[in-house]
Amino acid sequence: MSHSEPDLTSRSHAALGDPVLQRALGNATATFIERRRESVATVPDWQALRERARRVKEHTVNHLDYYLEQLVGRVEELGGIVHWASTGEDVSRYVVGLARARGVRVVVKSKSMTTEEIELNHALEAEGIRPVETDLGEYIIQLARERPSHIIVPAIHKTREQIADLFAEKLHVGRAQEVAEITAVARARLRQEFLSAGMGITGANFAVAETGTIVLVENEGNIRLSTQVPPVHVAVVGIEKVIPSFEDLSVFLRLLPRSGTGQKQTAYVSFLNGPRRAAEAAGGGAEGATPETEFHLVLLDNGRTRILADEQMRESLYCIRCGACLNVCPVYQKIGGQAYGWIYPGPIGAVISPQLQGLKEAGELPFASSLCGACREACPVAINLPDLLLALRAKVKEGGGEEPGARNTAERASMRAYAAMAKRPKLFAAVGRLMRGLGRLAEKGGRIRRVPFPPLSLWTKYRDLPAPPRGGSFRERWKKGEGKE
């Protein structure tokens, strides 16, 4: 996944200054929060369900090699072809090679964060193969040549009016007045693409090891068409998506739609067991029949085993990509997904992106959080996101490491000085007295409206500072006897 210049401060500044984006984000996140609250309330013991899901993920991730081998064995028994990919380039090479071998010119794609992560579309386009995003939100993003701004709602940052303009411009249709008109245009266009495509590419929400089943949840039916109409289906799946059994799946299928869109159940849930066989189409049993389609499972690492190797960070792999942490995050609510600069936004993005891309590249993200903890509360697998953000901050600073975009030297020096003072109470008190004395020089009417040097200048750019107390510090007043009985 590529980085969009310039730094996070400038990107968020642009987002904060965009009133249309602010309105779209505010409305959408509020709606998703409300729907989630309502649908979660229908589960008698939501907390127990979360804990159970977390235990399943914990167990699976700790025995990932076992379950992946089981999954691969089952998929191959079903007649599927499995390819292991250690990087995004590996996936691209494999998919492009396959498409060429089958003479594929058009590929229909379902919404997949994994293929966004590895920028598969770029690789396909470079080889003259036309990828068509078939999820409505992704279709909009592809037309606009943008990147998704949310894990499950890629066009969350766009208003209906903007989309109507985009369709009119790119598809040469009349400007739609109603949402129904917009979707009708997309449906008509996409139907042709489904019929002409030589390959369908999807991700997976879950891969069930005991049966070799790829599970996909959706609301638009485009995944049904992407996997059933073209003669070749390729599922690009991160290795952390495997779960042991159908019994476990039942837990996640209750958690995912409620956490994501606030639905009790999505409109479609697809269970795909290897390639389609002739007898199936005829309504008979699949046993022994010759496959009439191809199914390829591409298992992607792309940095995931590195996360797996780090015990402290391992729970980042529990994520089921529901997007609930984005909606409740006060930072995401204000800057949206694109400002994060990497494909995964919000709290989980601030945890995953630096690990996949490296701390030098994306190390600024963990610092762009108030650590309020709303994300952890919303997470259906109870990932301790604030703790992971804190751990990443420590990794960035470890051994003199630099935080991208920060005033590193000054910050480190002041933290060291502060720590040294904190161990010497008399010095701490003396320096405090000095600082308060300086503060009083800047006071006007009980407030400090402007400090000319950083970091406090950044505070006073937006907010006032309190004037230092006139009667001295607590410890001074206590010593003088005001605290004594």
Binding-residue pattern over the window 293 to 332 for another protein, x denoting contact by CB under 8 A: -------------------------------------xx-
Q: Which of residues 268 and 459 has its CB atom nearest to another protein in the complex?
A: 459
Q: How far apart are CB 385 and another protein at their closest, in Å?
A: 11
Contact between residue 12 and residue 339 where contact means Cβ atoms under 8 Å apart: yes
Binding-residue pattern over the window 348 to 377 for another protein, x denoting contact by CB under 8 A: -------------------xxxxxxxx-xx
Q: At 117, which helix (H) or strand (E)?
A: helix 113-117
Dump strand ranges (E) for 413-473. 447-448, 465-466
Q: How far apart are CB 350 and another protein at their closest, in Å?
A: 12
The pair of structure tokens assigned to 355 is 């690990």
Cα 65 versus chain centre, distance: 24
* Alpha-carbon gap, residue 232 to 246, rounded angstroms: 25
Is residue 14 a contact residue for another protein (CB under 8 A)?
A: no
Q: Which of residues 224 and 334 has its CB atom nearest to another protein in the complex?
A: 334
Q: Which of residues 101 and 419 has its CB atom nearest to another protein in the complex?
A: 419
Which one of residues 336, 345, 380, 468 is an interface residue with another protein (CB under 8 A)? 468
| Rounded (10°) CA dihedral 323, 325, 330, 334 | -20
Is residue 396 a contact residue for another protein (CB under 8 A)?
A: yes
Q: Which of residues 284 and 469 has its CB atom nearest to another protein in the complex?
A: 469
Q: How far apart are CB 335 and another protein at their closest, in Å?
A: 6
* Alpha-carbon gap, residue 238 to 299, rounded angstroms: 6
Q: How far apart are CB 469 and another protein at their closest, in Å?
A: 5
The pair of structure tokens assigned to 394 is 């420590």
Q: How far apart are CB 14 and another protein at their closest, in Å?
A: 11
Is residue 477 a contact residue for another protein (CB under 8 A)?
A: yes
Stretch that binds another protein, among 166-174, 227-235, 241-249, 412-420 (CB under 8 A): 412-420
Stretch that binds another protein, among 181-189, 209-217, 223-231, 415-423 (CB under 8 A): 415-423
Q: Which of residues 246 and 459 has its CB atom nearest to another protein in the complex?
A: 459
Q: How far apart are CB 473 and another protein at their closest, in Å?
A: 5
Q: Which among 157, 182, 186 has a CA at the least distance from the CA of 336? A: 157
Q: For 323-346, what is the HEC assignment? A: CHHHHHCHHHHHHCCHHHCCCCCH
Sign of the alpha-carbon dihedral angle for 18, 24, 30, 33: negative
Alpha carbon of 118 to those of 93, 100, 113, 114, 342: distances in Å?
A: 12, 20, 9, 7, 11
Which residue in this structure is represented by tokens 């039942």? Answer: 250
State which of positions 447-466 bind another protein (CB under 8 A): 447, 449, 454-456, 458-459, 461-466
State which of positions 424-443 bind another protein (CB under 8 A): 425, 428-429, 432, 435-436
Which residue in this structure is represented by tokens 């480190």? Answer: 412
The pair of structure tokens assigned to 4 is 């969009």
Size of the site for another protein (CB under 8 A): 72
* Alpha-carbon gap, residue 359 to 346, rounded angstroms: 17
Which one of residues 82, 173, 279, 421 is an interface residue with another protein (CB under 8 A)? 421
State which of positions 150-189 bind another protein (CB under 8 A): none
Contact between residue 46 and residue 270 where contact means Cβ atoms under 8 Å apart: no
Contact between residue 75 and residue 212 where contact means Cβ atoms under 8 Å apart: yes
Which residue in this structure is represented by tokens 């290795």? Answer: 239
* Alpha-carbon gap, residue 456 to 458, rounded angstroms: 5
Which one of residues 393, 402, 404, 442 is an interface residue with another protein (CB under 8 A)? 393
Which one of residues 291, 403, 404, 443 is an interface residue with another protein (CB under 8 A)? 403
Is residue 35 a contact residue for another protein (CB under 8 A)?
A: no
Q: How far apart are CB 260 and another protein at their closest, in Å?
A: 21
Q: How far apart are CB 38 and another protein at their closest, in Å?
A: 16
The pair of structure tokens assigned to 154 is 């890629």
Cα 415 versus chain centre, distance: 32
Which one of residues 410, 413, 422, 438 is an interface residue with another protein (CB under 8 A)? 422
State which of positions 69-98 bind another protein (CB under 8 A): none
Q: How far apart are CB 25 and another protein at their closest, in Å?
A: 11
Q: Which of residues 188 and 394 has its CB atom nearest to another protein in the complex?
A: 394
